[in-house]
Amino acid sequence: MYDTSRDVTLTGTVTEFDFVNPHVRVHFQVKKDNGDVEQWVGESAPPNNLRRRGWTRSTLKPGDQIIVTVHAAKDGTKEGHIQSLSLGGKEIYRSPTAD
């Protein structure tokens, strides 16, 4: 489903944060250089895994500025498996499969 051979790094604004099973999902907008806005969805680990790392339902809020590196969907849709996520200049998530 995801192209694991290529990382895509995006800077965006959180629009929705789904802290639910089976995978946590982060919805965010990315403003392109030409001014167009793309809607992206990043999928990460299950909530229980993230709770052990200190995450809660309020870790991300709409309006938060994030930097996300994903393995993008092979079919070209604007979604991906999150490899890393930074909030406020600090990395708060790194996938066990990253690097």
Residue 99 in this model has a pLDDT that exceeds 70? no
Would you list the domain boundaries of the chain? Answer: 2-94
Continuous segment of H or E residues that includes residue 96: none
Query: Whole-model pTM?
Result: 0.93
Please report which confidence band the pLDDT of residue 72 belongs to, taking 50, 70 and 90 as the band edges: very high
Distances (CA, A) of 88 to 1, 9, 46, 65: 30, 16, 23, 7
Locus of tokens 């339902």: 57
Q: Per-residue pLDDT averaged across 36-59, rounded?
A: 96
Render 35-88 in DSSP notation, one character per residue. S-EEEEEEE-S-HHHHHTTT--TTSS-TT-EEEEEEEEETT--SEEEEEEEEET
Residue-level pLDDT at 97: 73
Name the nearest CA neighbour of 54 among 45, 64, 42.
Answer: 45
CATH label, 2-94, candidates 3.20.20.140, 3.40.190.120, 2.40.50.140, 3.30.70.120: 2.40.50.140
